[in-house]
Amino acid sequence: MKGKIKPLVALLVLAVLIGGTLYTTRRDKGITEGQLRLYGNVDIRQIQLAFQESGRLLKLHVQEGDRVKKGELVAEIDAVRYQANLDKARAELAARQQVVKRMKAGSRPQEIARARADVRAWEARVKDAEITLRRLQRLVKKDATSQQKVDDAATVYTAAKESLEAARQSLELSLIGPRKEDIAAAVAREQSARAAVTRAAKELADTKLYAPENAVVRDRIMEPGDMAFPSTPVLSLAQTDPLWIRVYVPETDMGRIVAGMRAEVTADSYPGRKYRGWIGYISPVAEFTPKNVETEALRTRLVYQARVFVCNPEDELRLGMPATVHIDLTQKKPEGPVFRQDVCRAR
């Protein structure tokens, strides 16, 4: 009897050992009774604010930790030079506009009247020169004058006729007005001046720095008096929404989850608190587990990075906090997109 009991006991011990090993393995993988448990850290989007123009930093309106709203003024650089450029551009535009206005209006009535008076004056001079020339031509036939005087009179008559033609052409131009090509060139110069005003106004506006989104000031990188340059950050902002947990899903668990599945997040900093969340993104590219995650053995496993977006109504979660994500694998997989308001307002 005793000989039969010993093999039975050995089989029971072996079964317990195998069961314990399987349970431990599944626990290490984070799978317990239909639950997938993942570990990660709180992550947020950060913004590096910089001016588009260069200048001496004049004012900083915020401190570290301040909450700013989208469109709120946070910093300014000295704008004297940019204001002067704008004033100059506006004056140049005004001058160009007057030129175009004058050319489109054509000649003034006074200018036309003067051109007509010039034509009448030269007509009289031509008539007088013609009479003088004919009288001298009759006298030279009677030897009552010299040929030289006749030649001089002929020259005066010819010059008067040419001056009369020039006066008539001038009158015609006054009546017609500027050439279309000249007007087009003047309009083009006006448009160029207008563009210069737009550019100068934008440069002046860029001397003020505004918050692009609702955020918290994380760091004042520069202080008043520093020289600010394009692409050199002045302030660092941290967006509190959206907020997510960056986790790494083992390749063997990829078939268990899809984007949009609900999740529950806990953090060591707030024991007992649970935060609603959902899987918002799963990377399509596999990678090795980052070196700062878990043990050396786990670092050789292929994983997929995922973002589990989380509701943070009390603003308790902070960048870098360790967090645990619990995913119910028995839940119905979503058929469409998941929206933040649907998850965070759910009761």
The string of DSSP codes covering 290-306 is PTTSS-TTGGGSEEEEE
Please state the rounded mean pLDDT for residues 220-227. 95
Amino acid 6: pLDDT: 55
What does the alpha-carbon distance between residue 231 and residue 99 come to, in Å, rounded to a whole number? 41
Note whether 321 and 45 are within 8 A (CB): no
Comparing 315 with 245, which gets the higher pLDDT? 245
Residues 6+ apart with CB under 8 A from 67: 214, 215, 216, 217
Domain that includes residue 105, residue range: 85-202
Encoded amino acid at 41, one letter: N
Pick from 269, 249, 254, 263: nearest CA to 320:
269
In a domain, 9, yes or no: no
In a domain, 17, yes or no: no
Amino acid 175: pLDDT: 60
In a domain, 23, yes or no: no
Amino acid 343: pLDDT: 79
Same domain assignment for residues 231 and 272: no
pLDDT in tens, 106-150: 667 777 778 888 888 888 888 888 888 888 888 877 777 788 888
In a domain, 286, yes or no: yes
Amino acid 293: pLDDT: 54
Same domain assignment for residues 106 and 151: yes
Q: Would you call 317 helix, strand, or coil by DSSP?
A: coil
The domain that contains 287 carries what CATH number? 2.40.30.170
Amino acid 17: pLDDT: 47
Q: Among the three residues 217, 235, 253, which one is the final residue of a domain in this structure?
A: 235
Q: Among the three residues 185, 219, 235, which one is the final residue of a domain in this structure?
A: 235
Is it the case that residue 34 has pLDDT exceeding 90? no
In a domain, 15, yes or no: no
Tally of domains in the chain: 3
Is it the case that residue 176 has pLDDT exceeding 80? no
Same domain assignment for residues 109 and 150: yes
Please state the rounded mean pLDDT for residues 300-312. 87
In a domain, 20, yes or no: no
User: Locate tokens 């709120």: which residue?
Assistant: 72
Encoded amino acid at 240, one letter: T
The domain that contains 227 carries what CATH number? 2.40.50.100
Same domain assignment for residues 153 and 216: no
pLDDT in tens, 38-77: 999 999 889 999 999 999 999 999 999 999 999 999 999 9
Amino acid 144: pLDDT: 77
pLDDT in tens, 246-272: 999 988 888 889 988 999 999 988 988
Sheet holding 73-77, edge to edge: 208-210, 73-77, 55-60, 227-228
Please state the rounded mean pLDDT for residues 23-29. 44
pLDDT in tens, 190-219: 999 999 999 999 999 999 999 999 999 999
Amino acid 28: pLDDT: 45
Task: Name the band, by pLDDT with cuts 50, 70 and 90, for residue 278.
Answer: very high
In a domain, 7, yes or no: no
Same domain assignment for residues 126 and 148: yes
Comparing 341 with 22, which gets the higher pLDDT? 341
Amino acid 20: pLDDT: 45
In a domain, 197, yes or no: yes
Task: Name the band, by pLDDT with cuts 50, 70 and 90, for residue 16.
Answer: very low
User: Locate tokens 């007088």: which residue?
Assistant: 128
pLDDT in tens, 152-174: 888 998 998 889 888 888 777 67
The domain that contains 198 carries what CATH number? 1.10.287.470
What does the alpha-carbon distance between residue 275 and residue 317 come to, in Å, rounded to a whole number? 10
Comparing 297 with 128, which gets the higher pLDDT? 128
